[in-house]
Amino acid sequence: MSADSASKPAPLAEAPTPGSSSRSHTLSAALGILLLCVWVLWRLGGLDLQATIDIAGSDTRLANTFARVDHPFHATRAATLLDSIQRGEFLRWIGNHQGGYPAEFYPLGVAWLDVGLWSLLLGSVPIIAVHKLAVILIFLLPALAFWIMARGDRHDPWLAFLATAIHVAVPGDWTNGGYRELVDWGLVTNVAGATTALIASAAMARAVHRSERSMAMLAALTIAAAAYTNPRSLLAIAVATAAVLVAALLFPDDRSSRASVWTPLRTAIAIAIAGTLLAGPVLVPLIRYRDLYHFVNYQGYATLRAYWDSTVTAVTLPILVLSVVGVVLTFTLQRHVIARSFAIALLGYSLLTSALSDFASPGSAPGSVIQQLETPRLMPFQRLVMIYLAAYTSVWLVRAGARLARVSLSSAAASFASGAIGVVVLVAMLGSLWTLPDVFTTPPIETTGRAEFATYRSAVRVADEIRAPGTAILVIGNELDPERWWHQQLWGPLDSDAPFFYDDWLWYWHLDHAGPYNARNGHAYPDSGRALASSYFQAHGIGAVVVTDMAVRSGSDPRVVAASDPSLRLARTIRNWDVYSVAQPTPIVTDGPTLPTALSIGNLEIEATFLDAEGVVTIRRNWFPRWQATADGAAVAISRTVDGYMDVTVPPGTRSLELTYVVTPVDWATRFGAVVGLLWAVGLAFGRNWLPGRQHVRRWRRTSPVQDRAGESVA
């Protein structure tokens, strides 16, 4: 026997080691994670999707979903997507929000998740209640990534349970990921994007280091899913992929050292091509129309100390220390290539975040890459990687402590210890240890199962009934405490097909809006009462107004202003909401002073009929290059107005005008590319020659568990 062959680890069947994970250990860990997920589902109200409340002496059944901060925006987008599908449309333009915007500028990944879950439940649960389930699912999805990472290095699967327990227990803050940002504040797309990026990165690591076909396909699919959820998350995937390649090329394990040095690179490129092609329909328009998109900047790291404080808040100081130790351990323990890849990724990601932050580039111009990026939004991915490395360190400390105490720790005992640590973390953190708040109070956040939700929806239904055909609804204020940013007004599209305008923008995309608002300075009208004027109603085609009392930064209470506005007629007061009709409404489409005889406003089509139109027809909907117009069937040009709307010049005698949001040749090309990308992704899993280095899979699976330099398995 040669010296080389003698040094090779024996197969598992011939030389099992104390650290080997039997099938029973794997099943028990999976069961532990499942029970933890069920517990979280219960504590967050996932089994309480409807509520019965007493309104005016009558029991009323309401969907009971998360309602604070951004949840109304995302839940309503899911309802809009479902409604468009039921109408036979493919939602590409969201027309009910502030004049409309292209779907690619705020991709519908989470909305598609909502609709998918609604379909799995056979439509038995209201779509906005399904959104609560989607949020809880996103909150629990890191468990899948932790499992993929742990099993990739053949660690004890209870490591994944421990990491999940830490993730659940540590709330972070509203830009840190975790409970606070996702569940409490409802910043769903950012956390969902980071979570999907972690899954994609874990699968990429397994595909590159272990040549696993199924992981290659999963990586390609989740890269695309991350893009459709939040394109910002692709930055995390890019950094993680680079880290995987560095780990494979500079720190090869026994398997990768026998393979060609180009194999990891070819594998990563094959996966990246499939994922990019799949994401083409959202990525290409973002690049193609990048000059048309303005991003309101909310957050940044002004100093290195601010970044440090955010990092500590995201995971707590003990977890941060453990993660730093974990980075060191991955370079000292042999063949932990998955963990080592994420240690390198954490280092690179932290350096990149610092380099892109305000303190590294002072005075950067608004609209630059840095301003568009908002570096605090990168924290959720960093948080998840740190949590995994902290769990990795904790498991190593258990075994190291046993060795120091000269205690023989069996595989079952090690698994029990890992699970016990996870339970202790949950009990300690949720019991407000280390001065952190109890994140799972009952109920955890405001929900829609309350009278305020029902009365606002009643007010919107009244506004929909009294508005003139072809006009929009303006909503001002929120009935609940404005300091909590409940965004109650954004539930409006649930009860009306009308276009909506709000005094609190939440999100917008161009700078030319006609109103008391400067898009460069904030997200809301500083003086909402100034919007209650006939000039504003005419500029935006407003036919009805819904207003409530609110705290104002300047000016008078809009509800008081509305009561004294001669251009408004009070139709009804419903609890704290006043509903007005506009006395002389202007439709969304007009030919100068001439009004259309019929008008239809949809997401993808606008149709107006005139007795005799001539000259310039104004369409009070946001301009975008995909809009095309025909007058009596003949193509006519569209021009952009100074306030971002559209003008069309029609010949004398025009009877009908139709605007269509078209699919351009470039859009068709990206769709074709997405089909190719899907076939490519499937080919990575099932094609014979699609994945380089696949011949090494069995060799890796037959090798002994991961061992440290002392000869004992680490997990």
Q: Tell me, rounded to whole angstroms, the distance of Cα 96 from its chain centroid.
A: 20
Closest alpha carbon to 31 in 349, 415, 335: 415
Residue for token digits 């819904």?
546
Residues 6+ apart with CB under 8 A from 625: 289, 292
Q: Are residues 45 and 64 in contact, defined by beta-carbon separation less than 8 angstroms?
A: yes
H-state helical runs in 44-172: 71-86, 109-120, 127-140, 142-152, 158-169
Omega into 443 within 30° of 0, i.e. cis? Answer: yes
> Residue 630: pLDDT above 80?
yes
Residues 6+ apart with CB under 8 A from 604: 89, 92, 93, 95, 660, 661
Q: Which of 280-284, 413-417, 463-467, 539-543 has the lowest mean pLDDT?
A: 413-417
Rounded Cα gap, residues 646 and 355, in angstroms: 41
Rounded Cα gap, residues 590 and 539, in angstroms: 11
H-state helical runs in 316-450: 317-332, 337-356, 369-373, 379-404, 411-430
pLDDT in tens, 215-263: 999 999 999 999 999 999 999 999 999 999 999 888 766 444 445 667 8
At 93, which amino acid appears?
W
Tokens matching residue 606:
């606008």
**What is the SS3 string spanning 194-231?**
HHHHHHHHHHHHHHHHHCCHHHHHHHHHHHHHHHHHCC
pLDDT in tens, 28-44: 889 989 999 998 898 88
Cα 423–429–431 angle (5° rounding)?
Answer: 100
Burial class (CB in 10 A: 0-12, 13-18, 19+), 352: middle
Rounded Cα gap, residues 283 and 87, in angstroms: 26
Q: To the nearest whole number, what is the mean pLDDT of the chain?
A: 84
What is the chain's length? 715
According to DSSP, the residues that pair with 53 across neighbouring strands are: 60
Cα 140–144–147 angle (5° rounding)?
Answer: 130
**Share above pLDDT 90 across residues of the chain, in percent, rounded to a whole number:** 56
> Residue 700: pLDDT above 50?
no
Q: Are residues 263 and 225 in contact, defined by beta-carbon separation less than 8 angstroms?
A: no
The phi and psi torsions of 527 (rounded to 5 degrees) equal -135, 90
Rounded Cα gap, residues 414 and 395, in angstroms: 8
Task: Give the single-character DSSP code of 575.
Answer: T
- What CA dihedral angle connects 366, 369, 374 and 380, to 10 degrees? 180
Rounded Cα gap, residues 581 and 701, in angstroms: 71
Rounded Cα gap, residues 37 and 16, in angstroms: 32
Helix (H, G, I), strand (E, B) or coil at 50: strand
pLDDT in tens, 127-175: 999 999 999 999 999 999 999 999 988 888 888 999 998 999 888 888 8
| Dihedral sign computed on CA atoms, order 29, 32, 36, 38 | positive
Band of the pLDDT at 8, cuts 50, 70, 90?
A: very low
The phi and psi torsions of 516 (rounded to 5 degrees) equal -75, 70
* Model pTM score: 0.89
Q: What is the pLDDT of residue 432?
A: 42
Burial class (CB in 10 A: 0-12, 13-18, 19+), 239: buried
β-pairing, 542-548 vs 472-476, is: parallel
Rounded Cα gap, residues 644 and 517, in angstroms: 14
Closest alpha carbon to 75 in 141, 125, 143, 140: 125
Q: What is the mean pLDDT of residues 350-362?
A: 81
Q: What is the pLDDT of residue 7?
A: 38
pLDDT in tens, 178-220: 998 999 889 999 999 999 999 999 999 999 998 899 999 999 9
Q: Which residue has the higher pLDDT, 417 or 666?
A: 666
Q: Are residues 691 and 270 in contact, defined by beta-carbon separation less than 8 angstroms?
A: yes
